Structure 1
Amino acid sequence: MREAIATLSSADRVESPFGALDFFDGVPTPETVTTIYDALDLMRGIEVFLNAVPGASLVAMRRGLRSVGITSPNVVGYTEPRANSGSLFLTPNTETTYGTTMLDLRAWGPTVIEAPPESLCVVDDFWFRYVADMGIAGPDRGKGGSYLFLPPGYDGEVPDGYFSYRCPTFANWVVLRALGGVPAMKQTRIYPLAEADSPAENVFINIADAVFNTIHANDFSFYEEVDELVQEEPVEALDAERAGQLAAIGIVKGQPFAPDDRMRAVLDNAARIGGGMARAIAYTPRDPGAVLYGSWKNAFVGGNHEFLRNGARLLDARTQFHYLATVITPAMAHAQIGAGSAYAYTVHDVNGDLLNGAKTYRLHVDPDPPAKNFWAVDVYDTQTRSLIQVASTIYPALASNSGTLQGNDDGSYDLYFGPAAPEGMESNWVETIPGKSWFQLFRLYGPLEPWFDQTWKLNEFEPID
Structure 2
Amino acid sequence: MSDRNRTGLSTDEMAQAVASLSTPDTVASPFGELRFFDGLPLPETVATAYDALDLMRAIEVFLNAVPGASLVAFRNGLRAAGISTARQIGITDPRATSKALYLTPNTETTYGVTMLDLQAWGPTVIEAPPQSLCVVDDFWFRYVADMGIAGPDRGAGGKYLFLPPGYDGDVPDGYFTYRTPTYTNFVVLRALGGVPAMKQTRIYPLAQAESPDENEFINLSELAINTVHANDFSFYEEVAELVQEEPVEALDAERAGQLAAIGIVQGQPFAPDARLRGILERAAPVAAGIARVIAYAPRDPDAVLYGSWRNGFVGGSYEFLRNGARLLDARTQFHYLATVITPAMAHAQVGAGSAYAYTVHDANGDLLDGARTYRLHVDANPPAKNFWAVDVYDTQTRSLLVVPSTPYPAVASNDGKVQANADGSYDLYFGPTAPEGRESNWVETVPGKAWFQLFRIYGPLEPWFDQTWRLNEFEPVD
TM-score category by the smaller chain? over 0.9
Q: Distance in 2 between matches of 1:28 and 1:435?
A: 49
- Are 1:139 and 2:171 counterparts? no
Counterpart amino acid of 1:220? F
**Which residue of structure 1 aligns with residue 224 of structure 2?**
211
Q: 1:111 aligns with which of 113, 121, 124?
A: 124
1:261 CA drift (Å): 1.1
User: Is 2:459 aligned against 1:446?
Assistant: yes
- 1:36 is matched with 49
| Matched residue type, 2:446 | I
> Structure 2 residue aligned with 1:382, among 392, 395, 398?
395
TM-score, scaled relative to structure 1:
1.00
The answer to whether structure 1 residue 356 and structure 2 residue 369 are counterparts is: yes
Amino acid at match of 2:128: A
Match of 2:235, SS state, is helix
For residue 63 of structure 1, what is the amino acid of its counterpart?
N
Q: Establish whether residue 228 from structure 1 lines up as the match of residue 241 from structure 2.
A: yes
- Higher mean alpha-carbon deviation, 383-392 vs 19-28, is at 19-28
In structure 1, the gaps of 5 or more residues are none
Please name the residue that 1:437 is paired with. Answer: 450
* Unmatched runs of 5 consecutive residues or more in structure 2: 1-13
TM superposition shift of 1:118: 0.5
Amino acid at match of 1:199: P
User: What RMSD over aligned residues (CA atoms) do the two structures have, in Å?
Assistant: 0.5
Return the offset for 1:20: 1.1
Counterpart residue identity of residue 279, structure 1: R
Q: Could you tell me how far apart the structure 2 residues matched to 1:212 and 1:262 are?
A: 33
Aligned residues: 465
Deviations 1:250-294 (A, max 9, x none): 000000110011111100111111000000000000000000000
Matched, 1:297 2:310: yes
Residues of 2 paired with 1:198 and 1:404: CA distance?
Answer: 46
Map of 1:108-187 to 2, 5 A cutoff? 108-187=121-200
- 2:323 corresponding residue in structure 1: 310
Q: 2:27 aligns with which of 5, 14, 20?
A: 14
What pairs up with 1:182-197 in 2 under 5 angstroms? 182-197=195-210
CA distance in 2, matches of 1:458, 1:275: 30
Taking the TM superposition and a 5 Å limit, the aligned residue runs for 1:256-335 are: 256-335=269-348
CA distance in 1, matches of 2:252, 2:111: 31
SS in 2 for 1:278: helix
Q: Distance in 2 between matches of 1:145 and 1:92?
A: 26
Question: Cα deviation per residue 1:33-60 (whole Å; 9 max; x = unaligned)?
Answer: 1111110000000000000000000000
Q: What SS class does the counterpart of residue 178 from structure 2 fall into? A: strand
Question: Within 1, Cα distance between the matches of 2:447 and 2:458?
Answer: 31
CA distance in 2, matches of 1:265, 1:414: 50
| Structure 1 residue 382, shift from structure 2 partner | 0.2
For residue 394 of structure 1, what is the amino acid of its counterpart? P
C-alpha distance in 2, partners of 1:412/1:224? Answer: 49
State which drifts further: 149-158 or 21-30: 21-30
| 1:3-60 Cα deviation digits (max 9, x unpaired) | 1110011111111111111111111111111111110000000000000000000000
Distance in structure 1 (CA, Å) of the matches to 2:273 and 2:354: 47
> CA offset at residue 318 of structure 1?
0.1
Give the C-alpha shift of residue 406 in structure 1: 1.1
Q: Which residue of 2 aligns with 1:417?
A: 430
Q: TM-score, normalised by structure 2?
A: 0.97
DSSP 3-state at the match of 2:284: helix
> Equivalent residue for 1:367?
380
| Deviation per residue, 1:294-334 (Å, 9 max, x gap) | 00000001111000001100000000000000000000000
Does residue 400 (structure 1) correspond to residue 421 (structure 2)? The answer is no
Take 2:64 and 2:182, find their aligned partners in 1: how far apart are those partners?
A: 18
Q: State the alpha-carbon separation in 2 of the partners of residues 257 and 101 from structure 1.
A: 27
Q: State the Cα deviation string for residues 127-152 of structure 1 (Å, max 9, x = none).
A: 00000000000000000000000000
1:234 positional shift? 0.2
Between the aligned residues of both structures, percent identity stands at 79
In 1, the alpha carbon distance for the partners of 2:281 and 2:106 equals 32
- Partner residue in 2 for 1:96: 109
Inter-partner Cα distance in structure 2 for 1:28 and 1:352: 48
1:402-445 deviations in Å (ceiling 9; x for gaps): 11111100000000001111111111111111111000000000
Structure 1: distance between partners of 2:428 and 2:258: 46
Larger Rg: 2
The question of 1:74 aligning with 2:119 is answered: no
- Structure 1 distance, partners of 2:373, 2:470, is 22
CA–CA distance in structure 1, aligned partners of residues 206 and 220 of structure 2: 27
SS in 1 for 2:76: helix
